[in-house]
Structure formats: C-alpha cells, structure tokens
Amino acid sequence: MENKFVFDNIIAIYRPYTKLFQPIFEEFELYPAQWLVLKDICYNAPTTLVQISKRRSIEKPTARKILKVLSEKSLLTVESGTDKREKWLSLSQEGQSLYNNISTRVDKLQDKIIENTGLSTSELEHITKSLQSIHEQILAMEEF
C-alpha cells in the first residue's frame, strides 16, 4: 500500500464525519471548532488560551474568537492567574451540562459507527496508536 493512501483515507473521513455530527451541533448553536474547544477545556481544565491553541493546533487569534463566543454563551468560567494577562478557563455549570448533553449523543453515534465496522478492540487500539503516532510526527515536523 502506498503511503499516500493512508493520508487520503484520513482526509476522506473528515468531511462526512463532520457533516454527520452537524445536526447535533446546530441544535445547540455550536460549530464543530467550538465543540472541540469546549471538549478540550472539559478534559484539561483549568487551562489557558495558549495551552488550548497548542493542543488543538489552532492559531491563538482563532482560539481567542472561539473562547469569546463560548464565554458570551456563559459556558466558561474565567479566573485570573498570577500574571493578570493569563486567564484560567474551566467549564461553567451551563458549559458542563451542555458538554454532557452533546457528548452523550456524539458517543452514541460514534459507538454505532464502530460497531458497524466490526472492528475488534485490538484492531481499534492499533488504529488509535497508529493515528496518534502519525499525529505526533506531523506536530514534530511543524516545529521545524
């Protein structure tokens, strides 16, 4: 198998995957990028804009715009750090409730997709490790 087919298949998954979940996000007036940042904060709170930007591989101005929208929707709590320019972000009660609601629906759909593939647990673990390894290499190459 040629290497390009691995990347072609990764890219081929993205659009239909995003489109599949779009109705869930639209119901809660969120865009996929906002959901990913909300999810990141849930997993890594308390966290900062800079940390989110690095983990999600998005530019700081983009992260700032997303955080502004999430904050305006009262989904975040913001606390000042020791340096007043640094803000520590967590989910508000409303944000946690929204995250739980969306996550439950996303998880069910993802479980159904995986179930329909017939992949075994060991195959899924192998795929996950392989994708993580590819991701790490891409991030390492960005640093040059």
Q: What is the pLDDT of residues 114-131, one digit of tens each?
A: 999 999 999 999 999 999
What ranges do the domains of the chain cover? 3-114
pLDDT in tens, 86-120: 899 999 999 999 999 999 999 999 999 999 999 99
Q: What is the mean pLDDT of residues 11-33?
A: 95
Question: What local confidence, expressed as pLDDT, does residue 144 receive?
Answer: 63
**In the structure, what pLDDT confidence band is assigned to residue 142 with cuts at 50, 70 and 90?**
confident
What average pLDDT does the structure give for the chain? 94
3-state secondary structure the chain: CCHHHHHHHHHHHHHHHHHHHHHHHHHCCCCHHHHHHHHHHHHHCCECHHHHHHHHCCCHHHHHHHHHHHHHCCCEEEEECCCCCCEEEEECHHHHHHHHHHHHHHHHHHHHHHHHHCCCHHHHHHHHHHHHHHHHHHHHHHCC
Q: Is the pTM of this model over 0.85?
A: yes
Question: What fold, for 3-114?
Answer: Arc Repressor Mutant, subunit A (1.10.10)
